[in-house]
Structure 1
Amino acid sequence: MDSTTLLKEAIKAREKAYIPYSHFGVGAALLDSEGQVHHGCNIENAAYGPTNCAERTAMFRAIADGHQARSFKAIAVVADTEGPVAPCGVCRQVMVELCDLDMLVILGNLKGEIRETTVRELLPDSFGPSDLDKVQK
């Protein structure tokens, strides 16, 4: 699946966002190793802390549906922003945990602008599962 097609899937996911407070909808589409797309949208809460981002919704949904961490091929994220939208820091950290560091991350907006990057480029010098493997037990 190419970047443009995956971004269109993210736009579909964005339409389902629950955003009564910020009115800032974000959609994500995660491509797994079998070619299946998992949609995610941001879901807000009046207490703010329990709010969940689109990227994490897509990743958690895929894991809950039985797909293995680090088996994903790409994720596209889209919002109505001036330039391509980027994931927040929490989503970047979750990507380090659940995705291959070289996985394609497609950033886009509703104007069709796209920037491609990787998990590694989004969070250089990250702390991840391999760091915990070094801990003596």
Structure 2
Amino acid sequence: MKTSPSSSFFGRMAGGITRFSGSTAAFMAAAGMVVVWAAVGPLFHYSETWQLVINTGTTIITFLMVFLIQRAQNKDSLVLHLKLNELIAATQGASNRLINAQDFSEEEIAILHGFYGTLVELAKQDTDLGKTHSIEEAEDNHTEKLIAREE
């Protein structure tokens, strides 16, 4: 994976560490350190200091890796959203209102979920598997239901 020349030093470093930490070499290095730590146990008479070395080391590494993993996950999520946004924008008939849906409130997401549930129900009523429905049809169906309730 290439990094942009304009990436910050931290961005390049974090990316490199993230790629390395998921490699076989990183696993082998970590396993090797545990084996060495266990092997020197008798030299230190399995003291509290000997135990503290591995506990402190693993705690620090875990603490730092949480932030690197979250950074990588945030970047992956953003890239996935951008790719989906491109597909939505480029697809004839797709609802552009879903571009940046990740920024919707919980209430807006629930409303859209309801509309898509309605689309599923419309699709179940069709014998033609190739027929599609739109959010607008779901909205019309919802409006008709509201009118029917008021009567």
Normalising by the smaller structure, the TM-score range is: under 0.3
Q: Which has more strand, going by share of residues?
A: 1
Could you say which structure has the greater relative contact order, defined with CA pairs below 8 angstroms and 6 or more residues apart?
Answer: 1
Q: Which has more helix, going by share of residues?
A: 2
TM-score w.r.t. the length of structure 2 is 0.21
Structure with higher Rg: it is: 2
